[in-house]
């Protein structure tokens, strides 16, 4: 068997570690054989081994470590713990390990192949049943999505089928690409150790992981936002006003068909370039604002003519978004606090962070933004304007200022919080360094906590596949099936896949008297998928009424993971 070289500069053996962890090692790839598999294993787990080996070298006196940083060189003598930590964080293997972790989290969630939930099923129905031309019209269940995203998904469905893996492929690819792209953005704005913190928080953030395995455009929107911010930050860094003029014109013109949120990120970049033109009295900075702006407006006009006007007139969406439109003239005390409440919600949104972590995030964000402001660093505009501009869109009831519709804010939140931690650490005192370390630990720990507590629930959310498999085995010909009102969309997708026909199937409604439709039907199987955020969930009363008509017992329960709705996904056997 031929020798396989180190992959991505990761040492293969103890000899290579001792020869110099920080040395430049040329990457090579194995073929599709045992050597290739070994190389793949080293790629996945090598960074962690390298970090441990490097930490050992720095702790043991007398070892030589070339950290390739400005902050720490240990040469035959023991330096401070802080210098060793800085050297460890600045080592390339550390950031590679963090990026690998972020990619692995997204791929792991994708390959777990959790069941479609109701919103994904709703979009699938539109993709499967509507023609290409009809996709620009009203979608089923008042869904909305960028037209470019719908067309690409329709093409994928037509060519490769409509399995979960196939329909989630595009969001997964966007989510995976977002991790290294976010690293490139953070690296331009932060010190090496602050970059490690920001990328770590992004790698394990709940929302990007979840949206990377959903048939929704949010993962794409986040990655597009990062790309636009990266182009703008690079231009401001390097004083290059020519490249972003045409790059942003091309990217921005196309992005609007795949991402609603990209409009705000493009506008933020353009506004920042205009500020640069005014500050430096350099007219050349006007062009990267004007040319992409014209391209974006032309693209937006086409999009408006095709489908955006219909979306803005969608009464169902307008009704559900109503509380997230900014009341410019407040009518009561609650509306006076609308902006503070919604700003606070940005820091709780990625997985419903604990309240104390939200306030810690706000504090660190403020410190980081203040440092950029004090330095007169215009890149601050590229970061914060994207989630300030949607306020004005919400004021005219054109865009909701809430949750997943503001994923574009996530890069700024994480980067400025990491910069806030770095600012604390740079104050010099031991107390400040301890405070920075504690703050970083709390941010990372809270993200891990959210993943550990909420991801298991999400993995089993509305998963009726085991119920249908059980039903296929026990249901006899002529027996009725009642689908509780929260499960109809899922049944439309999964029912035919488990050969559960629509013969003698009753789809429930939210009417409490719905149970009377089942009276006298004999053996009835009741498929229950309860949805936590539905305004009407009358299941306890419905089950009590069933008990009056006959006897009911639990046949199969998928999960008790949902703390708010125990037994939220279950199959009941009733004799009425």
Q: What is the pLDDT of residues 403-437, one digit of tens each?
A: 888 899 999 999 999 999 999 998 888 899 899 99
Angle 218-238/410-425 helices, nearest 10 degrees? 50
Residue 7 clears pLDDT 80, i.e. is over it: no
The Cα–Cα gap between 515 and 513 comes to 5
CB contact at 8 A, 570 and 556: yes
Lowest model confidence (mean pLDDT) among 86-95, 179-188, 361-370, 482-491: 86-95
Lowest model confidence (mean pLDDT) among 147-161, 212-226, 408-422, 546-560: 546-560
Lowest model confidence (mean pLDDT) among 220-224, 262-266, 300-304: 300-304
Which pLDDT band holds residue 21 (cuts at 50, 70, 90)?
Answer: very low
What is residue 532's predicted lDDT score, i.e. its pLDDT? 60
The Cα–Cα gap between 527 and 487 comes to 8
Instruction: Please give the DSSP secondary-structure letter assigned to residue 549.
Output: H
CB contact at 8 A, 262 and 224: yes
Lowest model confidence (mean pLDDT) among 45-49, 168-172, 341-345, 485-489: 45-49
Q: What's the Cα-to-Cα distance from 269 to each of 9, 236, 245, 486, rounded to whole Å?
A: 36, 10, 11, 42
Which pLDDT band holds residue 197 (cuts at 50, 70, 90)?
Answer: very high
pTM above 0.85, yes or no: no
Lowest model confidence (mean pLDDT) among 73-87, 473-487, 509-523, 554-568: 73-87
In the chain, what percentage of residues exceed pLDDT 70?
Answer: 78
Which pLDDT band holds residue 33 (cuts at 50, 70, 90)?
Answer: very low
The set of residues, in sequence order, having a beta carbon less than 8 Å from that of 189 and lying 6+ positions away, is 233, 379, 383, 415, 419
The Cα–Cα gap between 212 and 109 comes to 8
Average pLDDT in the 260-279 region?
89
Which pLDDT band holds residue 214 (cuts at 50, 70, 90)?
Answer: very high
* Three-class DSSP category at 71: coil
Residue 452 clears pLDDT 60, i.e. is over it: yes
Lowest model confidence (mean pLDDT) among 204-213, 245-254, 390-399: 245-254
Residue 213 clears pLDDT 90, i.e. is over it: yes
Q: Which residue bears the tokens 């997708």?
A: 493
Return the ∠ at Cα 187 (arms to 184 and 190), rounded to 5°: 150
Q: What share of the chain is helix, strand, coil (3-state, %, to 5)?
A: 65, 5, 30
Residue 249 clears pLDDT 60, i.e. is over it: yes
What is residue 93's predicted lDDT score, i.e. its pLDDT? 87
- In this structure, the strands spanning 74-75 and 505-507 are unpaired
Lowest model confidence (mean pLDDT) among 60-74, 345-359, 365-379, 552-566: 60-74
Residue 276 clears pLDDT 50, i.e. is over it: yes
The distance from CA 35 to its chain's CA centroid, rounded to whole angstroms, is: 34
CB contact at 8 A, 414 and 202: yes
Q: What's the Cα-to-Cα distance from 569 to each of 135, 427, 500, rounded to whole Å?
A: 32, 53, 17
What is residue 101's predicted lDDT score, i.e. its pLDDT? 96
Residue 539 clears pLDDT 90, i.e. is over it: no
What is residue 137's predicted lDDT score, i.e. its pLDDT? 81
The H or E element spanning position 570 is: strand 569-575
Mean pLDDT of the chain: 79
What is residue 373's predicted lDDT score, i.e. its pLDDT? 94
What is residue 519's predicted lDDT score, i.e. its pLDDT? 85
Residue 296 clears pLDDT 50, i.e. is over it: yes
The two three-digit tokens of residue 40, written as one number: 């793949």
CB contact at 8 A, 236 and 382: yes
The separation between the first and the last C-alpha atoms of the chain, rounded to the nearest angstrom, is: 69
* Three-class DSSP category at 224: helix
What is residue 284's predicted lDDT score, i.e. its pLDDT? 83
Residue 19 clears pLDDT 70, i.e. is over it: no
The Cα–Cα gap between 5 and 46 comes to 13
Residue 67 clears pLDDT 50, i.e. is over it: no
What is residue 301's predicted lDDT score, i.e. its pLDDT? 67
What is residue 11's predicted lDDT score, i.e. its pLDDT? 38
In the chain, what percentage of residues exceed pLDDT 90?
Answer: 36
Return the ∠ at Cα 510 (arms to 504 and 515), rounded to 5°: 50
- Nearest residue to 260 (alpha-carbon basis) of 399, 385, 122, 378: 399
The set of residues, in sequence order, having a beta carbon less than 8 Å from that of 338 and lying 6+ positions away, is 326, 327, 330
The Cα–Cα gap between 59 and 130 comes to 63
The distance from CA 105 to its chain's CA centroid, rounded to whole angstroms, is: 11
Residue 13 clears pLDDT 90, i.e. is over it: no
The H or E element spanning position 74 is: strand 74-75
Backbone angles phi, psi at 460, to 5 degrees: -110, 10
């Amino acid at each position: 068997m031929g020798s396989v070289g180190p992959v991505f500069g990761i040492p293969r053996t103890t000899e290579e570690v001792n020869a110099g962890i920080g040395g430049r090692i040329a990457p090579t790839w194995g073929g599709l054989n045992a050597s290739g598999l070994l190389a793949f294993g080293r790629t996945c787990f090598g960074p962690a081994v390298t970090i441990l080996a490097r930490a050992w070298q720095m702790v043991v006196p007398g070892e030589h470590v070339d950290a390739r940083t400005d902050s720490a060189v240990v040469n035959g003598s023991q330096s401070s713990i802080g210098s060793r930590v800085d050297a460890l964080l600045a080592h390339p293997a550390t950031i590679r390990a963090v990026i690998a972790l972020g990619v692995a989290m997204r791929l792991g969630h994708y390959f777990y192949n959790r069941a479609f939930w109701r919103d994904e099923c709703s979009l699938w129905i539109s993709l499967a049943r509507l023609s290409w031309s009809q996709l620009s019209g009203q979608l089923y269940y008042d869904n909305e999505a960028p037209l470019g995203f719908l067309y690409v998904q329709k093409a994928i469905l037509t060519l490769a089928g409509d399995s979960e893996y196939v329909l989630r492929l595009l969001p997964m690819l966007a989510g995976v690409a977002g991790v290294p792209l976010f690293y490139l953005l953070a690296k331009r704005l932060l010190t090496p150790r602050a970059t490690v913190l920001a990328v770590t928080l992004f790698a394990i953030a709940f929302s990007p992981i979840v949206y990377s395995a959903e048939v929704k455009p949010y993962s794409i929107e986040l990655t597009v936002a990062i790309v636009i911010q990266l182009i703008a930050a690079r231009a401001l860094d390097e004083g290059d006003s020519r490249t972003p003029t045409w790059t942003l014109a091309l990217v921005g013109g196309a992005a609007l068909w795949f991402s609603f949120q990209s409009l705000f990120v493009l506008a933020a970049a353009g506004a920042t370039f205009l500020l640069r033109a005014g500050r430096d009295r350099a007219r050349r900075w006007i062009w990267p604002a004007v040319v992409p702006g014209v391209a974006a407006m032309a693209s937006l006009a086409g999009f408006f003519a095709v489908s955006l006007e219909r979306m803005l007139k969608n009464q169902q969406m307008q009704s559900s978004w109503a509380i997230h439109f900014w009341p410019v003239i407040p009518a009561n005390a609650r509306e006076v606090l609308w902006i503070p409440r919604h700003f606070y919600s940005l820091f709780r949104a990625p997985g419903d962070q604990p309240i104390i972590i939200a306030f810690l995030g706000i504090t660190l964000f403020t410190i980081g933004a203040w440092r950029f402001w004090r330095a007169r660093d215009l890149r601050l505009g590229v970061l914060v304007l994207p989630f300030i501009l949607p306020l004005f869109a919400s004021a005219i009831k054109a865009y909701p200022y809430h949750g997943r519709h503001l994923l574009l804010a996530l890069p700024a939140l994480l980067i400025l919080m990491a910069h806030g931690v770095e600012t604390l650490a740079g104050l010099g005192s031991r107390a400040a360094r301890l405070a920075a370390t504690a703050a970083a630990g709390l941010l990372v720990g809270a993200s891990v906590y959210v993943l550990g507590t909420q991801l298991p629930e999400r993995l089993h959310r509305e998963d009726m596949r085991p119920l249908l498999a059980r039903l296929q085995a026990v249901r006899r010909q002529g027996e009725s099936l009642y689908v509780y009102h929260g499960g109809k969309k899922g049944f439309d997708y999964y029912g035919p896949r488990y050969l559960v026909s629509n013969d003698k199937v009753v789809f429930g409604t939210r009417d409490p008297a719905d149970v009377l439709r089942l009276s006298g039907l004999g053996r009835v199987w009741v498929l229950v998928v309860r949805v936590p955020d539905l305004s009407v969930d009358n299941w306890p009363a419905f089950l009590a009424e069933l008990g009056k008509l006959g006897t009911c017992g639990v046949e199969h329960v998928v999960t008790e993971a949902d703390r708010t709705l125990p037994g939220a996904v279950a199959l009941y056997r009733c004799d009425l």
